[in-house]
Amino acid sequence: MAGSDDEKHDHAHEHDENCEHDQEVDVVTLVDADGSEVDHYWLGLVELDDEQFALLCPVDEMDEDNENTNVYVYHYNEDEDGAESFEAVEDDALLARVQAAAEAMFEADEQES
């Protein structure tokens, strides 16, 4: 998992033709430091130490098996009006803790399936 400098975003729901079970997939559009828009799949939300962290994977980095190659971690906040904000996580120790929590969350989800 890695952090990124993307901070601005739009959050939209789009359907991905390759997704399993024909389910709706969340796509978040972030604007990078160069002003380019980059679409990311919303993989999940991890809560750790009273903070929320969004797990995102750039759409163009998914391989042909629909597996993500890079997961980016952002501090995630939503204000009273529903406006979302994403801030890159740059602390390596925090990234490792979020990664461990995310892996445990995905393993628990997989066992329930």
Digit-by-digit pLDDT tens for the chain (113 residues) are: 554 444 443 333 333 333 332 345 799 999 988 999 999 999 999 999 999 999 998 888 876 665 657 889 999 999 999 999 999 999 999 999 999 999 998 888 888 87
R_g of the chain computed on alpha carbons:
14
Q: Give the strand order in the sheet containing 51-58.
A: 8-14, 25-31, 37-48, 51-58, 72-78, 84-88
Q: Are 15 and 24 in contact (CB under 8 A)?
A: yes
Question: Is 87 part of a structural domain of the chain?
Answer: yes
Question: Is 30 part of a structural domain of the chain?
Answer: yes
Question: Is 103 part of a structural domain of the chain?
Answer: yes
Question: Is 63 part of a structural domain of the chain?
Answer: yes
Question: Is 65 part of a structural domain of the chain?
Answer: yes
- Considering its fold, how many domains does the chain have in total? 1
Question: Is 3 part of a structural domain of the chain?
Answer: no
Containing structural domain, residue 81? 8-112
Structure tokens at 77: 């906040």
Q: What is the pLDDT of residue 71?
A: 87
Beta-carbon contacts of 87 under 8 Å, excluding residues fewer than 6 positions away, are 7, 74, 75, 77
Question: Is 2 part of a structural domain of the chain?
Answer: no
Question: Is 1 part of a structural domain of the chain?
Answer: no
